[in-house]
Amino acid sequence: MNNNKITVRDKARRKYKYVDRSLILFLLTSFQVITFTPVIFHGGEVNFMVAALLLGYILFEWLYVSITHSITKRINFELELIAFFLSGIGLCVTASVEGYEAMLKQLITVLCGVIVYTALLWFLKDVKRVMAVRTPLAVFSLLFLAGSFVFIRQFVGAINGAYNWIVIKGISVQPSEFVKIAFIFVGAASLDKLLTAKNIYLYILFSMGCIGVLFLMKDFGTALIFFFTFIVISFMRSGDIRTILFLCVAALIGAMLIVYFRPHVTARFEAYRHIWEDVYGRGYQQTRVLIYAVSGGLFGLGVGNGALRNVYASTTDLVFGLICEEFGVLTAIIIVVAFACIAIYALLSSRSAPSSFYSIAACSASAMLLFQICLNIFGITDILPLTGVTLPFISQGGSSMISCWALFAFIKAADVRAYPKIYKIV
């Protein structure tokens, strides 16, 4: 299909998907006001700072949609509204547990994330421009990740057993979160057109290089996410199940060798399936999640009334359990459904994307997010080993927030409605 020609049938097929953005924004605003009310009026006093930050966030949501529509003539904002919904829940949890100062920092990262999302979405509209920067970006990403590891090991040291945080004057940055963006970008661009075997080998070297450095950093959760995304990208381009099985077997053998020669790697997974044998030691966090999460019932104990908030990492690794306890299982289910809708959106958009680059990028970005969600939720509930990865958009953390918004740009770019002026969609 020609890049600049979308048939009348395609236009008609997409028009029924348009949602009244004003109605959704109104419902979103109402939900955010209701959830923030216990935080604003906690303890019988009015927290004017939290109220002001909430007002600023709501105004930003409305202004973003209005200004973007005026400039680009785009009328579909489903993906952005889901991101605002999830980010709003994260802001509420952060304000409730950590206070307005932490909420302000998180809000700033949301604004930065939207800026990165908008800029990347603009950049992705030209595939030739994308192809031109893939090699420099791949080299820079590998050097950045390796350099970060050396810097952290020499000047920062391990944090929670991993060398994955750069801390300078109280500001912490997680390099691997930004390399996620490059990983999708380079993978989709490299495999968009397999003209030579060299293309494949270079991407494999790039992927294995990133995963290898992450293992050295002991950031095993992110390494798993990268490997899973590599499998998705490779399968989408080749469709060869045998090759994928070969890669999985090779990875399994590699993991076994690492466990054999470096036994300390297994220390982080010793509690898996044995958390109730050491409820005050290695199983402390997960047992508390399981106990407190079910106590919230369908509608929760109310924001600020939970006990899990007093457990370490309640706003980061364990945030889904905190939501179950204070917001209720119903809200937790809605969050899971929202992430499922992201995957469906990516799949539907990729089917009619004007280039295989967009299809690969959208599906691999959504797969990366979904796999991270599974590692987080299943990890804290002891279905999978606890890896310490965050819950996208909701967990407290600026690097993760910006990375998630950037990944959304890949998903959005696959939808031809994202560029109405280019594809003549009105």
Q: Which has more confidence, 92 or 73?
A: 92
Where is pLDDT greater, at 172 or 183? 183
Better-scored residue on pLDDT, 385 or 318 = 318
- The encoded tokens of residue 230 equal 């590599």
Provide the pLDDT confidence category of residue 188 given band limits of 50, 70 and 90: confident
* Contact (Cβ atoms closer than 8 angstroms) between residue 285 and residue 298: no
Write out 190-223 in H/E/C secondary structure: HCCCCCCHHHHHHHHHHHHHHHHHHHHCCCHHHH
User: Which residues form the domain of 314?
Assistant: 8-423
Average pLDDT over residues 184-190: 87
Amino acid 272: pLDDT = 77
Give the pLDDT band (50/70/90) at residue 52: very high
Please give the model's pTM, rounded to 2 decimal places. 0.90
Mean pLDDT calculated for residue range 94-103: 94
With pLDDT > 90 as the criterion, what percentage of the chain qualifies?
53
Is residue 143 situated within a structural domain? yes
- Is the CB of residue 61 less than 8 Å from the CB of residue 24? no
Per DSSP, the three-state class of 4 is coil
pLDDT band, very low/low/confident/very high, at 165 (cuts 50, 70, 90): confident
CA angle 175, 267, 386 (to 5 degrees): 60
Q: Is residue 168 part of a domain?
A: yes
Q: Are 36 and 92 in contact (CB under 8 A)?
A: yes
Q: Could you tell me if residue 140 is inside a domain?
A: yes
Q: What angle do CA 85, 87, 88 make, to 5 degrees?
A: 65
Residue 371 has pLDDT above 70, yes or no: yes
Between residues 73 and 370, which one has the greater pLDDT? 370
196 in a structural domain: yes
Stretch among 167-171, 302-306, 371-375 having the lowest mean pLDDT? 167-171
209-213 average pLDDT score? 88
Task: Tokens for 387, please give them.
Answer: 């890896």
What confidence tens digit (pLDDT) does each residue in 7-30 have?
Answer: 433 543 444 344 577 888 999 999
Stretch among 50-64, 119-133, 183-197, 248-262 having the lowest mean pLDDT: 248-262
The answer to the question of residue 370 being in a domain is yes
Report yes or no on 3 lying in a domain.
Answer: no
Tell which wins on pLDDT, 10 or 337. 337
Residue 49 has pLDDT above 70, yes or no: yes
Query: Region 407-425: what's the mean pLDDT?
Result: 84
In a domain, residue 410? The reply is yes
Total domains present in the chain: 1
pLDDT at 261 over 70: no
What pLDDT was estimated at residue 314? 93
> Do residues 35 and 303 make contact, with C-beta atoms less than 8 angstroms apart?
yes
Once rounded to an integer, what is the mean pLDDT over residues 361-367? 94
In this structure, are residues 423 and 345 in contact, taking their beta carbons and an 8 Å threshold?
no
- Where is average pLDDT lowest: 75-89, 237-251, 296-310? 237-251
What pLDDT sits at residue 149? Answer: 92
pLDDT at 104: 96
Q: Is the pLDDT of residue 88 over 80?
A: yes
Percentage of the chain lying above the pLDDT 70 cut: 84
- Whether 240 is covered by a domain: the verdict is yes
Predicted pLDDT at 75: 81
* From 64-78, 113-127, 180-194, 280-294, the region with the lowest mean pLDDT: 180-194
- Beta strands in 302-355, from DSSP E residues, in sequence order: none
